[in-house]
Amino acid sequence: MIMTPRLRKFALAAHLTCSVGWIGAVAGYIALDVAAATSQDAQTLRTAYLAMELIARYVIVPLALASLLTGLLMSLGTKWGLFRHYWVLISLLLTIIVTVVLLVETQTIGYFADMAADPTTSGDDLRALGSTLVHSVGGTVVLLVILALNVYKPRGMTRYGWRKQQKERKVSQP
């Protein structure tokens, strides 16, 4: 079903807000992650891990899920479709992969936060935890690739999309 122009604009605004907000929230998270990776100060580590969990659980995960949902709505409600164009299909696959990795990683971050919240955890234990930098930086790179795909919309239809297009042309030009 194709959305009305007004609804399409609203859905696009929502999708842009969630997607760009996701990247911005991850940027803030990475600042804390760098602190967790480099600091030797127990108080800094404790604060960083607790803040990382709050940002991941209450900002990044909701934005990721909302971005995925609004992206699905945008695809299905516009002429782009979900499986017609390679850039849409690849964006969808990458978003699903990043979201799944994020949800798994949130458990790890929760474990770090539990350790940090426990007053009996020593500074050595906190320093031994490390960071989640590989995943957060890797995830950001993937998000930027998705952003580039969505902005540039490189040409190229899937076999399914091409068949659909031929069918529609046949109907409109009998």
Partner 1 sequence: MANRPSYPGTPRWVKVFGIIVIVVVLLVVAMMLIGSGEHGPGRHAPSGDAGGQAAPSTGMADHAPPEGGRG
Q: Which residues bind partner 1 (CB under 8 A)?
A: 86, 90, 101, 104-105, 107-108, 110-112, 114-115, 118, 120-122, 124-125, 128-138, 154-157, 159, 162-163, 166
The least distance separating partner 1 from the CB of residue 119, rounded to whole angstroms, comes to: 9
The least distance separating partner 1 from the CB of residue 5, rounded to whole angstroms, comes to: 29
The least distance separating partner 1 from the CB of residue 60, rounded to whole angstroms, comes to: 14
The least distance separating partner 1 from the CB of residue 59, rounded to whole angstroms, comes to: 18
1 or 171: CB nearest partner 1:
171
75 or 136: CB nearest partner 1:
136
For the residues of the chain, what is the DSSP string, one character each? -PPPHHHHHHHHHHHHHHHHHHHHHHHHHHHHHHHHHH---HHHHHHHHHHHHHHIIIIIHHHHHHHHHHHHHHHHTSTT-SSSBHHHHHHHHHHHHHHHHHHHHHHHHHHHHHHHH-TT--HHHHHHH---HHHHHHHHHHHHHHHHHHHH----B-HHHHHHHHHHHHHH--
The least distance separating partner 1 from the CB of residue 71, rounded to whole angstroms, comes to: 18
Cβ proximity of 73 and 79 under 8 Å: no
18 or 29: CB nearest partner 1:
29
